[in-house]
Amino acid sequence: MNQVENQNLKQKLSIIIPVFNETESLKELNARIIQAIFGLPFDYEIIYIDDGSADNSFNIISELHQQNQKIRAIQFRRNFGKSAALAAGFKEAGGDLVITMDSDLQDEPLEISNLIKKIGEGYDMVSGWKRERKDSFIKLVSSKIFNFTVSALTGIKLHDFNCGFKIYQREVIKNIEVYGELHRFLPVLAHQKGYKVGELKVKHNERKFGESRYGKFGLRRAVNYFLDIINVLLITKYTKKPLHFFGAIGLSLSFIGFIICAYLTILRVFTGSIQSHLPLLIFGVLLIITGAQLISLGLLSEIMIQNSVKKEKSYNIKKKII
C-alpha cells in the first residue's frame, strides 16, 4: 500500500475551538495542539470559531491558516455565544472523532491523546473533569453547586458538566441541537439521545492572559445556572410530557392560593370581616390564577424555540477560511 492510500485510510480528528478576544493565546495554543497530536494515527483539522472578537484574533487565525492549510476558521459578525460557536463548528467538522476545547490555554492539549484512548473504551462521548481547577473561590463553589444539582436532577453521574474539553463520536454531534446556553449540558443532551457518556480527569491550567468572559469571579454563571437547569430539564425530560413539570408547579401554586383563600373564608365566617386581610386575599387569588398561566407561557416559549431552532441558525457567519 502506498503512502497516499495509507493516508486515505486514516481516521480524521476535528478539533473545534471557540474564540472570543484571545489574541495573546492563539499562537501558543495552536503550537501546543500541533505538538500534542504529532504522531497520532489521525489526519486532522483545527477549526477556530471567532465569536465576534473585537481584537486581532481573526487575523492571527488567518496567519495560522496560511502556515497550515489544515487550520480552518469561521468568523461571526458579532458575539453569538459559545453554543452558537460550537453549533457552527459541529456543522463544519468532518472528523470521525471531534474534540472541543477552550482557547484560553487552560485546557491542556497533551490530554487529547488520553481523551482518544478513553473514547476508544466504547463511549460515544467523553467529558473532561477539571478535578483541580485553577479558578477563583466563588467560581469553584458555584460550579460545584451547579454540577451537583444537574447530576441529581438528570441522573447523569458526572463531576464537571461545564468543562469545554470533550471528545465525541461523529454521530453524536450530528444528532444534537446546540443553542442558547446548552453547551453546558451537552452530556445531558447526548445521554437523552441514548449515547454512552463517560468522564476523564484532565489537567486544568491557570489562565495566562486576560480574564473569563464571565468576569473575574464567575458571577454571571452563578446567577444564570438555575434557569439553565430548568431549561435543560424541559428539553430533555419534559418536551413530550410538559404537564408533568409545569402541571406540578402550577398545581402547587394554585393549592397554596386555595389554602390562603380557604383560610380567609373560614375567618370571614367566624369573625364577620377580613378587611385587614385583603392583601393576603389578593395574593391567594393571584396564586390560583397565575400558577398555571405564567409557567405555561414559559413552557410554550421553550417548545417553540426548540422546534424553530432546527429551521433557523442562531448565528451569522461573516467569513470562512477553508
pLDDT digits (tens, 9 = 90+) for 119-175: 999 999 999 998 887 666 777 777 788 888 888 878 888 988 888 999 999 999 988
User: So what's the pLDDT on residue 313?
Assistant: 62
- How far is it, in rounded angstroms, from Cα 217 to Cα 140? 9
**What pLDDT does 54 receive?**
92
pLDDT of res. 135: 67
Q: Do residues 86 and 3 make contact, with C-beta atoms less than 8 angstroms apart?
A: no
The rounded distance, in Å, linking the Cα atoms of 134 and 132 is: 7
Mean pLDDT of the region 212-222: 51
| 205 within 8 A of 105, measured Cβ to Cβ | yes
User: What whole-number distance in Å separates Cα of residue 91 and Cα of residue 195?
Assistant: 19
**pLDDT at res. 238:** 65
Asked if 59 contacts 75 with a C-beta cutoff of 8 angstroms, the reply is: no
Which three cell numbers, joined as nine digits, stand for 149? 444539582
For the chain, the structural domain boundaries read: 3-225, 243-309
pLDDT at 73: 94
Cell (9 digits) for 115: 481523551
Alpha-carbon distance of 184 to 191, in angstroms, equals 13
CA angle 110/114/115 to nearest 5° reads 105
Residue range 292-321: average pLDDT? 67
Please state, in angstroms and rounded to a whole number, the distance separating the CA atoms of residues 302 and 233: 11
Highest mean pLDDT among 71-75, 243-247, 290-294: 71-75
Q: Render pLDDT for 101-126 as a digit per residue (tens, 0 to 9).
A: 999 999 999 999 999 999 999 999 99
Sorted by sequence, the CB contacts under 8 Å of residue 27 that are 6+ apart come out as: 60, 64
Global pTM reads 0.75
Fold of 3-225: Spore Coat Polysaccharide Biosynthesis Protein SpsA; Chain A (3.90.550)
**Is the pLDDT confidence value at 15 over 50?**
yes
- Predicted local confidence at residue 2, as pLDDT: 46
**Residue 216 pLDDT > 60, yes or no?**
no
Instruction: Read off the amino acid at residue 319.
Output: K
Q: Compute the average pLDDT of residues 79-85.
A: 91
- Residue 5 pLDDT grade (very low, low, confident, very high; cuts 50, 70, 90): very low
Give a three-class secondary structure readout of the chain. Answer: CCHHHHHHHCEEEEEEEEECCCCCCHHHHHHHHHHHHCCCCEEEEEEEEECCCCCCHHHHHHHHHHHCCCEEEEEECCCCCHHHHHHHHHHHCCCCEEEECCCCCCECHHHHHHHHHHHCCCCCEEEEECCCCCCCHHHHHHHHHHHHHHHHHHCCCCCCCCCCCEEEEHHHHCCCCCCCCHHHHHHHHHHHCCCCEEEEECCECCCCCCCCCCCCCCHHHHHHHHHHHHHHHHHHCCCCCCHHHHHHHHHHHHHHHHHHHHHHHHHHHHHCCCHHHHHHHHHHHHHHHHHHHHHHHHHHHHHHHHHHHCCCCCCCEEEEEC
In the chain, % of residues over pLDDT 70 = 78
Is the distance from CB of 55 to CB of 23 less than 8 angstroms? yes
**What cell was used for 53?**
472578537
Task: Please determine, for residue 8, whether its predicted confidence score (pLDDT) is greater than 80.
Answer: no
Residues 136 and 212: beta-carbon distance below 8 Å: no
Tell me the pLDDT tens digit for each residue of 231-287. 766 666 666 566 556 667 777 888 898 898 888 888 888 887 777 788 888 888 888
**Cα three-residue angle 44-124-311, rounded to 5 degrees:** 80
pLDDT bin (cut points 50, 70, 90) of residue 311 is low
Residue 66 amino acid letter: Q
pLDDT of residue 3: 44
- Average pLDDT of the chain to the nearest whole number: 83
236 HSE (CA, 13 A, CB side):
24
